[in-house]
Structure formats: structure tokens, C-alpha cells
């Protein structure tokens, strides 16, 4: 749900106020970047794609419609489409960078090595899911979006999102089980 301040910022951005869009950029850039990074596994590509998402959003902000969902739902939809286009036009390569760059601040080798390994294992397993399941798992459990927000982003009924989420979790469990044996 949009709060009053964010709604007025969005209206200002729609009216062409660059500083208002800059506020939206500041609020959502790290989340959109993280979503993309988990999909492309390469920092520079994720940075380029995140930049493209916000450029597309700025160019199309006049088409944004208030539907009672967070502005981020619209951005995730743009990001998802950008990642799909990226994979359509480029050969897929996976560059395994250190995951703490995204998830862990105040990194401490002694305390966090186990967490990094677990996160890297989870990230690799997520990448083995199909595109739709990856999106749902990342949006739901990394970005903490509600099923309603995910349904808006993916253009599917909320009940379908819940079923797809369940299937994605089951597939993820199988992948992780196979990886541990």
C-alpha cells in the first residue's frame, strides 16, 4: 500500500519533477539491483540492467497507474522484463561473485563464513529453478513482497502465485537435497 508521502512523490514524478523521481530511485534502487543481481550473477550486468530499469521507469512514469500496490511492484515488473530481454539477447554466463556484497554489511570473516556459504548454496539452487519460480522465490523471500504484490508484478491471480510458490519451494527443496547428497 502506498503511503501519502510516496503517492505525492509519485504524482510529482509523473508531472516531470526529476527530484521526485530521484527520491523514488534512492528508495528502490538497492532492492531492484539485488533482484537483478540474483538473476544475472554478475555485478556489472546487474548495475547496467538496474540503470536501464530506472531509465525505462523515468521514460514511462506518465503511464504509471495507482492501483493500491507499492510502486516497487511496477519496478519489479520492469526489472523482470529487463532480465528476460537480457537473457534473450546474451549468452548466459554465470559469474560466481561473493554473495556478502549484497546481503551482509559489516562483514566479519570469523562470524559470517558459514552464512556466506549457505547463501551461495541457496543462490545456486534458486538459479536452477525455471524463470517464473526464480522470480517468485526472490520476490517473496528475498524482497519480502506479499503474494498480492507478486500477482500484480507477474500479472497472474494471487491464487496462482500461491500455487507457483508452493511448487517452487518443493523444487528448491529437491535441488538442495540433491546437492547435499
Residues 81-119 pLDDT 10s? 898 888 777 654 444 444 445 444 444 444 444 555 566
Instruction: Tell me the average pLDDT of the chain.
Output: 80
Residues found in the chain:
181
Show Cβ contacts of residue 135 under 8 Å, excluding neighbours closer than 6 positions.
80, 150, 153, 154
Take residue 17 and report the three cell numbers written for it: 519533477
Nearest 10 degrees: Cα torsion 35, 48, 99, 173: 40
Nearest CA to 31 out of 44, 48, 50, 49 is that of 50
In the three-class reduction of DSSP (H, G, I as helix; E, B as strand; rest coil), residue 132 is classed as: helix
- The residue-averaged pLDDT of 28-51 equals 88
Q: Report the pLDDT value the prediction gives residue 68, as an integer from 0 to 100.
A: 75
For range 142-149, the mean pLDDT: 84
Q: With contact defined as beta carbons under 8 Å apart, do 161 and 167 qualify? A: no
How far is Cα 174 from Cα 36, in angstroms, rounded to an integer?
24
For residue 35, pLDDT over 60 is answered with yes
What mean pLDDT do residues 4-26 have?
Answer: 89
Nearest Cα neighbor of 27 from 10, 14, 12, 43 is 10
Q: Nearest-CA neighbor of 51 among 17, 15, 43?
A: 43
Q: Cβ distance 47 to 33 under 8 Å?
A: yes
- 131 membership: H or E segment, kind and range: helix 131-137
pTM: 0.63
Confidence class for position 48, pLDDT limits 50, 70, 90? very high
Residue extents of the structural domains in the chain? 1-97
1-97 CATH fold: Rna Polymerase Sigma Factor; Chain: A (1.10.1740)
Whole-number pLDDT of residue 78: 93
Amino acid at each position: 500500500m502506498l503511503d501519502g508521502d510516496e503517492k505525492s512523490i509519485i504524482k510529482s514524478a509523473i508531472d516531470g519533477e526529476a527530484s521526485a523521481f530521484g527520491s523514488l530511485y534512492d528508495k528502490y534502487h538497492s532492492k531492484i539491483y539485488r533482484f537483478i543481481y540474483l538473476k544475472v550473477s554478475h555485478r556489472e550486468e546487474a548495475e547496467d540492467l538496474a540503470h536501464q530499469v530506472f531509465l525505462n521507469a523515468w521514460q514511462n512514469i506518465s503511464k504509471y497507474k495507482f492501483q493500491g500496490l507499492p510502486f516497487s511492484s511496477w519496478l519489479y515488473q520492469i526489472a523482470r522484463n529487463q532480465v528476460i530481454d537480457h537473457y534473450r539477447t546474451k549468452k548466459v554466463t554465470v559469474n560466481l561473485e561473493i554473495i556478502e556484497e549484497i546481503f551482509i554489511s559489516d562483514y566479519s570473516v570469523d562470524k559470517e563464513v558459514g552464512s556466506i556459504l549457505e547463501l551461495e548454496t541457496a543462490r545456486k539452487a534458486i538459479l536452477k529453478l525455471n524463470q517464473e519460480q526464480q522470480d517468485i522465490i526472490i520476490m517473496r523471500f528475498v524482497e519480502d513482497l506479499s503474494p498480492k504484490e507478486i500477482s500484480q508484478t507477474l500479472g497472474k491471480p494471487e491464487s496462482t502465485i500461491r500455487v507457483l510458490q508452493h511448487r517452487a519451494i518443493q523444487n528448491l527443496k529437491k535441488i538442495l537435497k540433491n546437492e547435499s547428497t
